[in-house]
Amino acid sequence: MMEPFSTTAEGSGPFTPSEVEGSPPFTPSAVEGRVPGAEHLEFRKLSVRFGAHLALDEVSFTVPRHTICAVVGPANSGKSSLLKCINRTLDFEPRARVSGEVLLDGEPVSKVADVLALRRRVGMVFPLPVGLPMSVYDNVAWAPRSRGVKRRADLDVIVEQALRQAVLWDEVKDRLDLLGTRLSGGQQQRLTLARALSMEPEVLCLDEFSIAIDPVTTMKIEEVLLQLKATTTVVLSTNLVQQARRLADQVVFLNASRLVECGDVETMFHHPSVPLTSSYLHGAIG
């Protein structure tokens, strides 16, 4: 049985190890977490600044292929910035300055010349829905069309499959010509997910994907994500610790822009190396 949703960490800000009795200072051994498996993504001393604000501070870890990696931590710990570095949507932030590297299949994403091709490989779903000003059908068909799929029959199959995966098909199948922006907020969020899935990405990034979705629909999407990892690497940021526990193979804990600890879900929840990790994951702080 699935554990109830936890909102322990929502709205909390970064805290320091000194705020938890017995928590040691950050050490290299605490930030070099790895789990077994072929590396699909690698973060090498990734740092992000927005002017004087340091959003990420030399974060290093790897994500094995075909796993679900949950990035957790209090608000303003750098979770969203980390995800945006993977497919370079952080390029849209004029004040952002990035150092270090993110490697996709061993290739630095900063050196990828065709950024649109990179974003087809790495799908992104943001916390709030971003519906394109076109029909529901065209919202989902836009990416396949951009990569050369023209036949209506082929597009029909892709659109239906993506909408089913996003748990939206039954609600929109009879009104696919409706303007996507006229859907409810939760439906638009799932439409955004369907649009990302229509690209058949090899990496899917989800930034607080359930923020505008009811718990029942969220759990249905979680079931889809568990199936997707057979073909896709999923990286999600979440403030819901129990969501990370249900879904993740790997948990990455960020705090105050730094990587505190990273490891497989069993180790992180039951045998973490850093007391701060246990305190956060079990709701003692946050």
Give the CATH number, domain containing residue 156.
3.40.50.300
The partner residues of 147 in beta bridges, in order of sequence, read none
The partner residues of 103 in beta bridges, in order of sequence, read 42, 108
Is residue 215 a contact partner of residue 5, using CB atoms and an 8 Å limit? yes
pLDDT at position 4 is: 31
Parallel/antiparallel/unpaired status of strands 233-237 and 203-207 = parallel
Distances from the Cα of 277 to the Cαs of 67, 125, 271, in angstroms?
Answer: 21, 27, 10
Torsion sign, CA atoms 18, 19, 23, 29: negative
pLDDT in tens, 235-280: 999 999 999 999 999 999 999 999 999 999 999 999 999 999 999 9
How many whole angstroms separate alpha carbon 223 and alpha carbon 137?
24
The ranges of the chain with pLDDT < 50 are 1-12, 17-37
Please check whether residue 6 lies inside any domain of the structure. Answer: no
Q: How many domains does the chain have?
A: 1
How many whole angstroms separate alpha carbon 85 and alpha carbon 47?
10
- ∠ CA 224-64-261, nearest 5°, is 100
Listed residue (213, 223, 160) closest to 190, CA to CA: 213
Q: Other CB atoms closer than 10 Å to residue 164's CB: what's the count?
A: 15
Q: Can you point out the beta strands (E) in 74-199?
A: 96-104, 107-108, 122-125
Please check whether residue 9 lies inside any domain of the structure. Answer: no
Please check whether residue 14 lies inside any domain of the structure. Answer: no
pLDDT at position 285 is: 73
Please check whether residue 139 lies inside any domain of the structure. Answer: yes
Please check whether residue 206 lies inside any domain of the structure. Answer: yes
pLDDT at position 2 is: 33
Tokens linked to 175: 């009104």
How many whole angstroms separate alpha carbon 24 and alpha carbon 31?
13
**Helix or strand or coil: residue 58?**
strand
Is residue 191 a contact partner of residue 140, using CB atoms and an 8 Å limit? yes
Please check whether residue 26 lies inside any domain of the structure. Answer: no
Please check whether residue 165 lies inside any domain of the structure. Answer: yes
How many whole angstroms separate alpha carbon 33 and alpha carbon 259?
9
How many whole angstroms separate alpha carbon 150 and alpha carbon 137?
14
Distances from the Cα of 226 to the Cαs of 28, 194, 207, 261, in angstroms?
Answer: 32, 16, 17, 23
Tokens linked to 137: 């059908």
Is residue 77 a contact partner of residue 285, using CB atoms and an 8 Å limit? no
pLDDT at position 13 is: 58
Looking up tokens 């050196």, which residue turns up? 111
Please check whether residue 16 lies inside any domain of the structure. Answer: no
pLDDT at position 278 is: 96
Give the domain range for residue 94: 31-281
